[in-house]
Structures are given as structure tokens and as C-alpha cells.
Amino acid sequence: MTSNEPKITFHGAAGTVTGSCMELEYDGRAILIDCGLFQGPRTLETLNREPFSFDARKIAAVVLTHAHIDHSGLLPKLVAEGFRGPVYATPQTRDLLYHMLPDAGRIQESEAERRNRRRDRKDEEPVEPIYTEADSKAAYDQIETVALNKWFQPARGFTARLWNAGHILGSTSVEMQIGETRLLFSGDLGPDHKAFHADPEGPSGLDHVICESTYGDRVREDLTIEQRRTLLEAEIKAALTRGGNLVIPVFALERTQELLLDIAMLINTGRLAHPQVFIDSPLATRATEVFAKHAGELEDMGSGEIFHHPSFHYVLNAAESMRLNSLSGAIIMAASGMCEAGRIRHHLRHNLGRRESTILFVGFQAAGSLGRTILDGANRVRIWGQDVAVRAQIRRIDSYSAHADQQDLQRWIKARQPIEGSLFLSHGESGSVETFRRLLQSDGTAASIIAPKLGETYALPARAPARRLKTGDPELQGAVGRDWQNDYADFSIRLKKELQGIESASERREALARMSEVLRSYQRHRDKRKARNG
């Protein structure tokens, strides 16, 4: 690599949707684009506990594309490990992170406490939180705001400009000039004609583009906001007619507010009676207040009361949340959106087994997440170590996605042409990335299209394709996607039922003995292999 070439390392969101973190190095200095939390199956989440593969003390700055935790959620860990530089973000992103970062710290602390209380973990070492609420507040204090379309210098040798990405409140794409090389990081892109925000923008004529590909394999039905509201109206009426609750797993940021907008408009125009809507997420409540603060900047707000509608009830404490167990015929919106943590698991545990209840998914469900398992048709799932039957109606509306679909992404990339170097496809599961890569190759979008893997490093020359300098760690890459713990959960759920299907107790004991012998045999085989390789 010549001295005037920057390089990039993908520390997250490569072959997977979460954990966005890219390191840019140039002339002895390094900055990060995003520093996000891995979310999904347990094996992938364990990467959050691994040491950073860079020295946090030597990072000069972080440029944050937006507030979602999979893009910002490891900032507290970064600060705890010695990062003292600025974190650049839009004012809206900073307002959201005032609530989101401390909430993430509290979740880390409470999840560690819950795991340590579990009876099946009594013989294991206590789990420590990845970071604390205090770490989160320290990270927030390092945020500096920058406006859209204004050049700034995050570190010597790096010049940046933020563009509207149309994904969530305050979301951006990041243009970067490093020496002679001109880059663009898409961040997460919103679909065209999304509620609240203008369509994504960006410059053209770049050396390298790093583009998300969450929905690179999917074309959604092109619906207007009014058509989307009609779908939601039908789902709400059908669910409440069944007599049970309508439980909606939501992301606290953006998805909650879009649903509140649509429900309020349906009520205000007389298309819905006044259903009782419970927003059971303190973070979603606080995020909604940020939206209300910036309401004058939002599109499609219509007329009448929206965020403070009389049908909306914001649930702030655990006691109020538990009282919802006795309800029927209510709409309950709770986080997290992929059902991996938070109060949604409490409501799923109480509603999945009820045939009259409905679970409505309105957002992306990552491979290995509880939400994805339910959507894929599981008959039983495990929640907090308990076996829960799935008898409720499982429904889905795709049109609420905050992510651009394949056609939106393709249009956005074409508007960035010419791309003289390489197009990197990040932030997507491997199947989505590969489908999108083939599509773009077939129409000649860019001469060089790269699907980076976790841990890989590339040189970024001006007006020439990127060159791979370092391969990633196979162990790191192996954590992506469905893992052994998903298989174990499926196996353990089926095991009891299959054992009960064996007629006699002695035959059941024999089956268990055979399974135990398989495990012991595998252990002996592994020990012999280790001894030979010794």
C-alpha cells in the first residue's frame, strides 16, 4: 500500500446486519464510522464481549450515521476502554441518544443480573455487564453535533460531510475525503416516500461506496402511506374481533412513532373506534417525546393530535406493565423489535399460548432471533428458559420497514455513479448480499463489487479498485447467522414431546442413555484428535 492510500477494516455488519463498525486509517490516525452492538443469536451477541481488535485509546474520532443501537450501542464500551475523542452526529441523533445510551446501559446491567439469577446458571461464573449506565452517560458527553451538508474535519487528514439517509430521525450517509480518495458510507437507507422523512440523498462520482444491503434480496410491494394504513386497519380490526390482544414487537425508535402516526390518523378519520393502545417501553416513550420536539421537521403529520392522542397510554414502570396481563382486546406495543430482550418477551410469554391473541410483526427479524423463529413457524419457543407453545395468530406487515428494499438500493447506488473504485456491500445477511451482488454485477453498476467479511482490511486507492490487505478471523465469521444455541433450543423443545411419545418409562431411559453415550463418544473422539495434533 502506498503512503497516500487510506485503508478500511470491517469490524461489524459484514455478512450480518448488526454491529456496524468500520475503521478508517490514514497517515498514522484512525477514526470509526459507527460503533454498534451485535444483535441476534447468542453466539453473535458474544462478540460484544470480545476485546476490540483495535486500541480504543488510539481512535481519534467516531462519525455516527444514526442512533440505532446496532450502530451506536458499543460507544459506551469504547469510552470505558479509553476512547476520549469526539463522536460526531446530527442534533436529532444526539437528542435520541440522550435516552438510548443510558437505556442500553441499564439493559446490559439488568440482563447480566437476570442471567446470574437463573437456576440453570448456578454452577457458572457470574456474568458481568458489557458496560454500565455510567459508561453510557460518559459516551453521550462526548457527542458533538454537526449539521447536514456542512464539511467538517473529524481528525487531521479526514474531511467529512453528512447527507440525509431517510432512514430514521437524524439518520445520515457519510461522505469522506481522505487524501485523494473520496468515499461514501450509506449508513442505513430509508425507502423512497417514507413517512416523516425526505428521500435519501448523496453525492455522485466517488472512488468507493460502502452500501448497506439489508433487503438486497427483497422487493416489497410498493404501497403508499394510505395503502399501508389500510393494511394496518384490517389487521387491527381482525385481531380485536378475535377477542384477544394485538401484540406488536416494535423498535422503540421510528417504528413505534410510525405506528402511532397511522393509528392516530385511523382514529381521527373515524376508520377505527378508540382502541386502547399501550406503549410498553419507557425508551419508546422518551423517543416519542424527541419526535414531538422535532415535529416541525417531519413530513406527513396531517392534522389532529398524534403523539399525545387520548387513546395512547404510555406504560412507564414494571408494575403497570404486569397489569396488562389481565387485559383482552388491547393493542400492546413493546420493545425490542426482534424479541431478543425487554418487555416484549413478557407479553409474548403471556399471549403466544392464547389462540385469540395476535402477534403482528412490522420489522426486520434477524436470523436466529426469537422473532425470526416465531415468524418461521415454530410450534414452541423458549423464553427465559421456559417452553412456550405458539397458538396465537402470527401476522406480518412488510411495508413499515425503515430500510430500502432491493429496488430502492439499486436506484440509490445508480445515482452515485460513476464509482471508479469498488462498491462494498455490507450490513446484510450472506444470502441477501450475494443476491444483490449478482444483480449489480449483471447490470454493470460497478467494475469491482466486494462483499467484505468480518475482520477484513482493504486498501482504498483513488480511481482504482480496492485491494484486500488482510483476511478476517474464521472464528469471528463463524459467529454470524444461526448458531448451535438455536439448534439446541429447537432440540430441547422437541425432546420432551418426543420422549413422551415413547410408550414405556424403561425405553425412555434407554433413549436418554443412548443420547448421553453419543455425547461421551464425541468427547472421546475430540480428545483423541487433540492428542494426535498435540
Specify the pLDDT at position 125: 83
Q: pTM for the complete prediction?
A: 0.84
Average the pLDDT over 518-532 and give the result.
80
Query: For the segment 365-389, what is each residue's pLDDT rounded down to a tens digit?
Result: 877 789 999 999 999 998 987 889 9
pLDDT (tens digit, 9 = 90+) per residue, 172-206? 999 999 999 999 999 999 998 888 999 999 999 99
Other beta carbons less than 10 A from residue 119's beta carbon: 6
pLDDT of residue 50 exceeding 90: yes
Structural domains for the chain: 7-218+403-477 (3.60.15.10), 225-400 (3.40.50.10890)
Average pLDDT score, the chain: 91
pLDDT at 140 over 70: yes
| Preceding amide of 321 cis, omega within 30 | no
**pLDDT tens, position by position, 300-319:** 888 788 999 999 999 989 89
Cα angle: 277, vertex 275, 230; to 5 degrees:
95
What the block records as the C-alpha cell of 397 is: 406487515
The pLDDT score that the predictor gives to residue 464 is 97
Give residue 1's pLDDT.
45
Task: With CA atoms as reference, report the closest residue to 115 among 281, 321, 341, 316.
Answer: 341
Q: Which helix (H) or strand (E) holds 437?
A: helix 430-442
Per-residue pLDDT tens over the stretch 250-270: 989 999 999 999 999 999 999
pLDDT band, very low/low/confident/very high, at 489 (cuts 50, 70, 90):
low
Task: For 394-422, write each residue's pLDDT tens digit.
Answer: 999 988 888 999 999 999 999 999 999 99
